Amino acid sequence: MLTLDDVALRRDASFELVVRHFAVAPGEAVAIVGQSGSGKSTCLDIMAGILKPDRAQRFTFHHAEDAPISLADLWQRHDRGGLRNWRARHLGYVLQTGGLVPFLSLADNVGLPLRLLGRREPGRVQELLQALGLDGLGRRKPRHVSIGQRQRAALARALAARPALLLADEPTASLDRDSAETVMGLLTSAARRENAALVMVTHDRDLAVRHGLRIATCASGGALGLSVLDDRETN
């Protein structure tokens, strides 16, 4: 579904991320692991069409019967509208910081992707709040719930429009062990149910392995801090 070949982005004089090859198929789940500062979040932001790569031999998204979309071409043409449409239609992104809109209730945050797409799905928001253990908190603003509850609301929002590609940056980082297991279970089962591709960044390799995710390593090394993600190194 998502394929990257020789995609690179230099962040500063001492750091360049180079994705030699990465591919994820519908229904497949991959965890990107690696040391702090090795480029995991940068990699996810490139996959999300948020950060523009300096070069991309191949950077494509291919969903079901639709024609393949070259994200590399959209960037090349500076087609911001095209990238925005692609993100709205196909992408669910759980940010490390949650990224909820502070002045909207949890329920309105979760329903936001559906509203932006002009879709009405009565019951969908409630179903997600319930699935993520947020029943009864829908009317609260993000600042009036715990960090872990915010994280789960962010996950519910990413799932709302049933995206084909689900990206998550440390979705369990602010959760206790039991909640982390629960959220991982929900994330992977939701992705499987929707036949979505899931790519998540995590420090917790064991948690990812326990939940059946393929492991891709973001390795750092070399004098320039060159970072290479290569999913052929997976186990």
Ligand X SMILES: Nc1ncnc2c1ncn2[C@@H]1O[C@H](COP(=O)(O)OP(=O)(O)OP(=O)(O)O)[C@@H](O)[C@H]1O
Pairing assessment for the beta strands 2-12 and 214-221 based on DSSP bridges: unpaired
* CA-based torsion, 115, 119, 120, 124: positive or negative: negative
Q: How far is the CB of 145 from ligand X (least distance, A)?
A: 23
Assess 206 for contact with ligand X (CB under 6 A): no
Q: In this chain, which of 2, 34, 83, 157 binds ligand X, going by CB under 6 A?
A: 34
Nearest-approach distance from CB 223 to ligand X, in angstroms:
14
**Pick 106 or 154: Cβ nearer ligand X:** 154
**Which residue has tokens 């149910």?**
193
Q: Which is nearer to ligand X, 36 or 235 (CB)?
A: 36
- Two tokens at 179? 């909640």
- The total of other beta-carbon atoms located within 10 Å of residue 18's CB is 19
Q: Confirm if 37 and 17 have CB atoms less than 8 A apart.
A: no
Judged by beta carbon, residue 16 or residue 28, the one nearer ligand X is: 16
* β-pair partners for 19: 7, 229
Please, what is the Cα angle at 27 between 154 and 95, to 5 degrees? 20
Binders of ligand X among 36-65, rule CB under 6 A?
36-42
Q: Least distance from C-beta 180 to ligand X, angstroms?
A: 16
Q: How far is the CB of 118 from ligand X (least distance, A)?
A: 33
Q: How many CA atoms lie within 13 A of 131 on its CB side?
A: 21
Residues 8-27 close enough to bind ligand X by CB under 6 A: 11-12, 15
Give the binding site for ligand X (CB under 6 A). Answer: 11-12, 15, 34, 36-42
